[in-house]
Structure 1
Amino acid sequence: MSIAPKSRFFPTRTGRREAMTGFRRDEAGGLIIFSLFILVAMMLTAGLAIDFMRYEQTRTRLQNTMDRAVLAAASLSQTQDAEAVVRDYFEKAGLADYLGPIKVEEDLSSGTAAYRKVRVSAGATLRPIFLSFVGMNEMPVITSSTAEEGISDLEISMVLDVSGSMGWAAASGNSRIHDLKEAAKDFAYHMQCNPNASRGSGKPCEVEHGKVSISIVPYSEQVNAGPHLLSLFNVTDEHASSHCVDFSADDYTRVGLGDYVSDPFSGLPPAPQDVLARTGHFDPWLAYNRTPDSWSCNIQSERWITPLIDSHTDAYDAIDTLVAQGNTSIDVGMKWGAALVDPGIRSVVDSLTSTPVATGSSEMLVDPALRGRPYNYAQSYNAKAIILMTDGVNTAQHYLKNQYRDGPSVVWHYDKADGTPGDPVYSVYNASRNQYRWVNKNSSDFKSGWFDSVYIGEPEQSCSNQTVTYYDPWWRLRTRTEWVCTETGPPNGTPRQLTYPEVWSTFTTRWFSRFNWLENPVLSHGTVVKDDRLMDICNAAKQRDILVYTIGFEIEGDSGEEELLGKCATTINHFFLADGLNLSDTFGAIASSLNQLRLTE
């Protein structure tokens, strides 16, 4: 019997099983299948990248066009309709179809644009090329931008160092005070006249009257507020010779001085306990035998604060009078600068807007256009800024011990019978001896020794020409006429105990401490204390969103002042180092910063 061969097409059951097993084990052609999967994944990834590149390109193009459009439309110097400006930008960019709503807010109450805010949104729908294969058929592109400009309600304090070192030569070859004056006047011109021109260009002013106020605060060892300004605060009245204040440590932790003035709403006066300590009128510098003249609180009118100036020419006048002399108290200057943009002194400003500069004058100490300033912190369109400039570190600030500020002193004088002051002989009391020393104005003894009473003049005398006899060198008796005085009664002066303010207006503090039974009546705040106080007031101002710009003018690199000023400023970008060659440029950069548009979104 013959056996038929196995068919390759119709195998037996065993053959089919062997064929299946062989196919399963055969690896030929596996790489081709894997490569196909990789190729599909790469194509999807490349397509994703291409679609997102198209999306980002479209978004960037829309955003850049929109930013340029809102900046141009919101500019106060823009004479075209703001909405038309935006549409023109989009049309020229070929993006008009994507432009969305345009919202314009502006203040035209004065007849010209004092404030303008432009908000624009745009949107496009991108059709993806590759992502549609995975079900994403649209990619929405949505952007918005807002720009605003409003320089109308700026309130600025320029806190300027006029200490003795400002009289030194600057890198320019001029004195530092000279370069400061020029730079400060440039700043005033840009802020109150024309931000787009140079001082002296002759171009007309563009900044509207009553929109930008500048207070000028000169500081050295102290800040002299001036008689008019300080009279509107609740301040001690032991003397009226100068107008500085000894702030407490707590005063530096808050911006305002509103606790010391009448309430701007109710008109009620401050509480009796809320009183500023007037700086003593004393000379801690000159020798004991000198007439006091180097006051801790400089009395020159050139040192007075000039509050809320409305005119750049008035600012020029105040700046041109600045003189360099004295120690450096950056903290005191910054405190006054902050207070002058705080709404707590609104009642003070309102009073100054109705106070003539002189009797019979129609000009007020503060322009009536600035009545109601400083504005509230939340006031729309308002910004507050302080420009703090110094050329050195904080130095000693002298002040009187409390017991020597006011009240009866240990120094006595006397009045003659006719009520006029007696001769310059003074009686200084020693409590431990319960006696007096009679001294001349230069502190030397008028008569040596101690006395139980105040010197009130010499005894009453009767004087006349009388003939007297005498022996000449050869013992011969002679006669001559002499002026002879005979005591007829006791001294008739009236003793008068001087107050301490009277003592300090007559003598230096070194005269006082020359007597070994008396102590030095003066204390001082040093650099460490004053640096801490400066940081306190800087932080308080920044917490109120007051812009703080600081300028280190030819400061020494190892003084530590650079770090201090950097911390005081709103940001490190608000701190500037300058010398005499670029100080005007620095003030110009700050002016530009205050005038420029701000993209808010």
Structure 2
Amino acid sequence: MSRSVGTSPLAQKLRQRFAHEINHFARAEDGVMLALVMMMMLIMFTVAGVGVDLMRTEMERTRLQQTVDSAALAAAHKDNTLQPKQVVMDYFAKANLASYISEDDITIGGVGLSTSVTVDLSAEVQTPFLKNLGFPTFTVPAIGRAEQAYGNSEVSLVLDISGSMDENNRMTRLHTAANEFVDTVINSDSRDRVSLSLVPYTGDVNIGWDLMSRLNVRQVHSYSYCVQLTPADFSTTAVNPGDHYLQGQHFSHVDSGFNYISCPTQSYETVTPHSQNASALKSQINQLTGRERTSIHIGVKWGVALLDQAFRPVITSLVDASKIDEAFRGRPADNGSQTLKVLVVMTDGINTQTNRIKDFAYDTPDMRAHWAKWAMSDWEYDVDSSVRDDLYDVYYTGTMADSLLQNICTAAKNEGIIIYSIGFEIDDTSAAQMELCASSPSHFYRVEGVSISDAFASIARQLQQLRLTL
């Protein structure tokens, strides 16, 4: 007799409940996103950590570069009496960055009186988040160089000696300001590196026999040495020794005594090219006095011509003749070279009208001798006022001169010449022209009275300023 083994109701119920729970668990969707959420959060935290480390590294790189630049500038400064490396290390210590630099990262150089300081380092910046991913640090490079040096510089100082400069002590103030400029630009540190050309101008510019005799100028008299320029000459900075020019006429508009005259005749009123003789330059400046009329465009033209490479054969000839220092052989340097070329032009007025004697009345030596003795006004007032149209005509109107001024200023800026302009007790019309001529509005100075010295001093300091490179 067989006997079946039964299942107790309780055990059966438990099995059913367990099966039900297993089935319910298998079908349930609660918490299915938890794993994905955890994974996404881990990725987000990692990305955020990378961002924090990158931001921290960039901030540290910026601090490093700023400290490198500041330290190099301070160490290279001519007034620094400490060891340059000591100055750099001290800057890093004060910025709490001393751990990033050693003296081996600092190189001191320079030639002659110049000093250069180069800081070239690679800093290891800690990365708190990324170190767990195998990137404990980021390498941050920082490099900077500063040099206290003049380098090679060519400066043309173009000064207004028109009649109005004798008013309100302007000429006396110009003497003082220009002398201070010369002393700042020409000194022991700049020896054989900085040349200064002085260009006095009034209604014209007397370039002097030394320059005229080395240019292809048709000479028709020996009273003065101005050159007749055409409007086309103001579209370029060059005065090429091979080009043909005509000597400028010698006459006076209104002064029978020929003290107020467009083409001045005194030796101290002629152009001095590429000099570093501060005493001679100041002596010449101190003798300047007011003459006649204002032709700013002609002054600027000769100022930039002395900076243009086309004039080099003339300067070479003057070096050969021992009239210019041997150190300046090869000047003017090539246009666009590393040599700094600067024009400083000063005026107290506006471009005025310039007349010219007609060719038929200036054709013979006797005619030229006559006009060297008798002013235009003598004919107009004492002989016959109707002779104006018969004997002479307008060569430059003020408006035309302004246009030519902007032409030559634009040509100079296109050649890389830096132009500073100074308006000394001028009106708004002249101020607009001088500001437009300058390299930028910040290169234009409008001054009154003794402030002219401040303008020249500011320009001189800028010519001396430190240059941050790399």
Partner SS for 2:372:
helix
Q: Structure 2 CA distance, aligned partners of 1:30 and 1:581?
A: 86
**Corresponding position: 1:522 with 2:389:** no
Secondary structure of 2:206's aligned partner: coil
Residue 391 in structure 1 maps to residue 390 in structure 2? no
CA distance in 1, matches of 2:218, 2:312: 21
Aligned-partner residue type, residue 293 of structure 2? N
1:178 is matched with 172
- Specify which of 590, 593, 597 is matched with residue 459 of structure 2: 590
Per-residue CA shift, 1:308-336, capped at 9, x if unaligned?
33232222211111112322211111111
In structure 2, what is the equivalent of residue 277 of structure 1? 246
Superimposed CA distance per residue, residues 51-103 of structure 1 (whole angstroms, 9 cap, x where no aligned partner): 23431332133212321332234345556665665566556751454677555
Query: What secondary structure does 1:54 align onto?
Result: helix
> 2:236 matched to 1:254?
yes
Correspondence for 1:444 = none
Counterpart amino acid of residue 57 in structure 1? M
TM-score by length of 1: 0.66
Cα distance change of structure 1 residues 564 and 86 upon mapping to structure 2, 3 Å threshold: same
Partner of 2:141, secondary structure, is strand
- 2:369 maps to amino acid: E
CA distance in 2: counterparts of 1:600 and 1:97, whole angstroms? 20
Report the counterpart of residue 333 of structure 2 in structure 1.
375
- Kindly indicate whether the alpha-carbon contact (under 8 Å) linking 1:238 and 1:405 is maintained by their aligned counterparts in 2: no
* Mapping for residues 59-78 of structure 1, pairs under 5 Å: 59-76=61-78
- Check conservation: 1:100, 1:123, Cα contact below 8 A: no
Equivalence map 1:93-132=2 (5 Å): 94-95=98-99, 97=101, 102-108=106-112, 113=113, 115-132=114-131
Return the offset for 1:140.
Answer: 2.1
Q: How many residues align?
A: 454
Looking at structure 2, the residues matched to 517 and 310 of structure 1 have their Cα atoms a distance apart, in angstroms, of 46
Deviation at 1:597, TM superposition (A): 0.9
Q: Greater helix percent: which structure?
A: 2
SS at match of 2:454: helix
Cα contact 1:99–1:122 (8 A) shared by 2: no
How far is the alpha carbon of 1:281 from its aligned partner? 1.2
CA RMSD, Structure 1 to Structure 2 (Å): 3.6
Cα separation, 1, equivalents of 2:109 and 2:387: 73
Structure 1: how far apart are the matches of 2:455 and 2:212?
32
1:457-536 mapped onto 2 (5 Å cutoff): 499-510=366-377, 511=379, 514=385, 519-536=390-407
Cα pair distance change 1:101/1:532, threshold 3 Å: farther
Residues of 2 paired with 1:551 and 1:128: CA distance?
Answer: 55
2:3 maps to which residue? Answer: none
Secondary structure of the corresponding residue to residue 156 of structure 1: strand
Q: Which runs of 4+ in 1 moved over 6 A?
A: 3-6, 29-39
- Structure 1 portions without partners, runs of 5+: 170-174, 194-205, 261-269, 356-363, 408-497
Displacement of 1:593 after TM fit? 0.9
| 2:6 aligned residue | none
Query: What is residue 145 of structure 2 aligned with on the other side?
Result: 146
Cα 1:312/1:82, change in 2 over 3 Å: same
- Structure 2 Cα separation of the partners of residues 300 and 5 of structure 1: 132
Match of residue 569 from structure 1: 438
Whether the 8 Å contact between 1:160 and 1:217 is mirrored in structure 2 is yes
After TM superposition, the structure 1 stretch with the greater mean CA deviation from structure 2, 219-228 or 342-351, is 342-351
Larger of the two Rg values belongs to structure = 1
Displacement of 1:158 in angstroms is 0.8
1:20-419 to structure 2, matched below 5 A, reads 23-24=28-29, 43-44=45-46, 47-76=49-78, 86=88, 89-90=91-92, 94-95=98-99, 97=101, 102-108=106-112, 113=113, 115-132=114-131, 137-151=136-150, 153-169=152-168, 175-193=169-187, 206-207=188-189, 209-257=191-239, 259-260=240-241, 270=242, 274-285=243-254, 294-353=260-319, 365-377=323-335, 382-407=339-364
Task: Report if aligned partners of 2:261, 2:291 keep a CA contact under 8 Å in 1.
Answer: no
Aligned sequence identity (%): 32
When normalised by structure 2's length, the TM-score is 0.82
In structure 2, do the counterparts of structure 1 residues 35 and 97 end up closer, same or farther at CA, with 3 Å as the change threshold? same
Structure number with the higher strand fraction is 1
Retained in 2: the 8 A contact 1:222–1:397? no
Secondary structure in 2 aligned to 1:168? helix
Amino acid at match of 1:9: F
Structure 1 residue 372, shift from structure 2 partner? 4.3
**What code does the residue aligned with 2:372 have?**
S
Q: How big is the shift at 1:184?
A: 1.0
Is the CA contact 1:161–1:218 (under 8 Å) kept in the aligned structure 2? yes
CA contact (8 A) 2:49 2:130 kept: yes
- CA shift, 1:159, in A, is 0.8
